[in-house]
Amino acid sequence: MTTNHQAYLEQLGQQAKQASYALASLTGVQKQQLLSAIANKLSASSASIIAANQLDVARAREQGLSEAMIDRLLLDKSRLDGVIKDIDNVIALADPVGSEIESQLLDNGLRLSRRRVPLGVIGVIYEARPNVTVDIAVLALKTGNAVILRGGKETLNSNLALSEAIREAITEQGLPADGVQLIQSADRELVSGLLKLDKYIDMIVPRGGQHLQRLCAEQATIPVILGGIGVCHLYCDKELDIACAIEVIINAKVQRPTVCNALDTLLVHSAVAEALLAKLLPRLHELKVKFYGCERTKQIAKGIGLEVMPADDETYAQEWLSLTLGLKVVDEMEGAISHIRRFSSGHSEGILTDNLHASSRFVNQVDAAAVYVNASTRFTDGAQFGLGAEVAVSTQKLHARGPMGLEALTTYKWIGIGDYTARP
């Protein structure tokens, strides 16, 4: 890393650490006032933010980015209004900071408790979605944390406009603007440097694809929360309501196909495969969904005049993020569970069944951050879980798992209160 880059990151880290001290002491009311000020400032700056985003979208089209990627980076008025509305949801949430997890009087005379406190400084590396800039900043500030953001080069103009509005609101509240800082360069060397800034940063959250996740896991000297990659499955059991199941499957695949909790592979019990797929595939085909499947799904599709391309290990391991669906017929639930264990990213998995024993068995044997019974995988989302905006969806098992809301951005300290108590 160049000396200039190192100095730049050191400065960001020092500023963030200093700002975190001021943020950690804010009362709940002060945090609510701060978030309200940010929402108002974003609304007042909406025209400039949307104009900046249009520059990013135009450049993405010039560079030939896929429509899926362009959809992820688009921030029009409707989406910006939704992002701002989500701030109100976070304001309404209970502030976990300062709450006592448990308290007890010990035999040695100490009154011992655990109190929730901010983590300190959070580093977040993310790719195409500019709404993440607002979501993370708001959640970090709500929990008294400072944050250093490194967004993708595709949304640099959008992120600059958003962070500028947020920082202005922070300053107007008499607080250090460096509570929210954006790395204003797309140089990838800065990512590697950020991952080693353990003197100042307490946790790294990468929001992006497999390459980014592995880069962070391999290079970081700071604890990393991995996740966000969703190879998601639904298994259709032999006892189910086919008509109802079809509506759930369509929702999971089509409602917003470019996100990590969209359905990637449908597993179908052989006893209902022909009846279900003969009705489902034409519906999905009308919605422009393409298919990769096993030999049995290919034969069923051929019988109704549709094409299913051959699936293999590579396609079954694919997070599609598009209108593409993997298909596989299995003879028993064991086959579905085995397939999920092999190809799942541990994000969201579900079963569609009317058999209580089957659903219980599936829930117990499938290991994922979220497991659903008779519901779409699209619910794995901070707002849908009642958490407000989310920092990420963690697919690991330590500290945080699934949608990460406010509590995931806190830790705790032990508080021991005595009466001039000495250890015997």
Give the chain's end-to-end CA distance (angstroms, integer): 53
Helix H or strand E encompassing 299? helix 295-303
SS3 189: helix
Whole-angstrom distance, CA of residue 326 vs CA of residue 309: 9
Q: Which amino acid is at 310?
A: P
Whole-angstrom distance, CA of residue 232 vs CA of residue 32: 36
Inter-residue contact 282 to 288 (CB < 8 Å): no
pLDDT in tens, 350-383: 999 999 999 999 999 999 999 999 999 999 988 7
User: Beta-carbon neighbour count of residue 159 at 10 Å?
Assistant: 28
Inter-residue contact 237 to 351 (CB < 8 Å): yes
Q: Which two tokens stand for residue 149?
A: 């953001």
Q: Which two tokens stand for residue 38?
A: 């940010």
SS3 382: coil
Low-confidence ranges of the chain (pLDDT < 50): none
Closest to 22 in 3D by CA, of 125, 95, 139, 121: 121
Helix H or strand E encompassing 292? strand 290-293
Q: Which two tokens stand for residue 136?
A: 């993370």
What CA dihedral angle connects 254, 256, 261 and 264, to 10 degrees?
Answer: 40
Whole-angstrom distance, CA of residue 162 vs CA of residue 83: 11
Cβ neighbors of 418 (< 8 A, separation 6 or more) are: 109, 110, 111
pLDDT at position 398: 79
Cβ neighbors of 48 (< 8 A, separation 6 or more) are: 161
- Compute the C-alpha angle 180/171/128, nearest 5°: 30
The model carries a pTM of 0.84
The full set of domains in the chain, from first to last, is: 3-225+404-417 (3.40.605.10), 232-379 (3.40.309.10)
pLDDT in tens, 239-291: 999 999 999 999 999 999 988 899 999 999 999 999 999 999 999 999 999 99
pLDDT at position 1: 65
pLDDT at position 389: 67
Q: Estimate the crossing angle of helix 131-142 against helix 77-92, to 10 degrees.
A: 10
